[in-house]
Every structure is written in C-alpha cells, then in structure tokens.
Amino acid sequence: MKNNNINEAGRWLSQARADLEDALYLFEGKRFNTACFTAQQAAEKALKAFLYFKGAVEVWGHSVADLCANCAERDNSFSELINTGALLDKYYIPTRYPNGLPGGIPKNAFDEVEAKRAIEITKRIIEQVSSRIK
C-alpha cells in the first residue's frame, strides 16, 4: 500500500473525528439541524478515509449509503451499515437550505431526537472505519 494513501486516509479520518466533535458541540447548543448535517459530513469523510486506505485514487459522492456500499465491496462488514448510513443521507441538503423542505426552515425542522440519532450512527461508522485502519 502506498504511503500517500495511508497519509490521505489519516487526514480524512482525522477530519471526520473533528467534524463529529463539532456535531456534538452543535448538539449541546441545540443547533440540531446543523448537528445533523455535520454528523453526515463526518460519516462521509470517515468512509472516504477507508476507501483511500484501500487504495482509491479519487473518491466522489456525498451519499453515505453509496459510500458504505463502496466500502462493502472491499470489506463485507460495511454491508451492515448501508441501510443505517442511508438515514444520514437525508441530512445532506434539507438541514441547510429552506428550499430543501416543503415549508419552514431547517432550524425548525430537525429536533434533538434526530440529531442524537445522526450522531450515534456517525459514531458507529467512525468506529467501524477506525477498527479497519490501523
């Protein structure tokens, strides 16, 4: 495995962990919509870290479910995360843009329960990636 892939994986995983910390901070501040989005971003970055670790040259896309499926092609243990990861996909656009919702604004559309679930899913994904990148 090339050293630059290992370094790139480490950079992405490190940022994923920082984003998770930010999601927790936003959760504590009751910024639930942004906590959901930031958790989604953390999961996305962690999965990209795994793909870089496995030798990917470029990794594109923002769907956590799709990234889990790509990871599962390299390590079957990620297949159990595809459906769970899909729950995070709904936090990519509607948590940020009013026109991503049928009415209202993101700040009022997401609650503590959703943010907590998003953070828990993201923790699970980061733990899975961390256990595979040594």
- Taking residue 71's Cβ as centre, other Cβ atoms within 10 Å add up to 28
Q: Is the pLDDT confidence value at 92 over 80?
A: yes
Q: Return the CATH number at 112.
A: 1.20.120.330
Q: Say if CB 125 and CB 81 are below 8 A apart.
A: yes
In this prediction, residue 25 carries a pLDDT of 98
pLDDT digits (tens, 9 = 90+) for 1-52: 467 899 999 999 999 999 999 999 999 999 999 999 999 999 999 999 999 9
pLDDT averaged over every residue in the chain: 96
- Tell me whether residue 99 is exposed, middle or buried, using C-beta atoms within 10 angstroms of its C-beta: 0 to 12, 13 to 18, 19 or more: exposed
Distance of CA 113 to the CA centre of its chain: 17
Q: Taking 80 as the threshold, does the pLDDT of residue 96 lie above it?
A: yes
| 88-92 mean pLDDT | 97
Q: Look up the domain containing 49 and give its range.
A: 3-132
| DSSP count for the chain of H helices, then E strands | 6, 0
Contact status, residue 37 vs residue 96, Cβ threshold 8 Å: yes
pLDDT bucket at 116, cuts 50 / 70 / 90: very high
What is the pLDDT averaged over residues 72-87?
97
For the chain, what is the domain count?
A: 1
Structure tokens given for 89: 């996909």
Q: Is the Cβ–Cβ distance between 32 and 112 less than 8 Å?
A: yes
Percent of the chain with pLDDT over 70: 99
Per-residue pLDDT at 78: 98
Provide the pLDDT for residue 28: 98
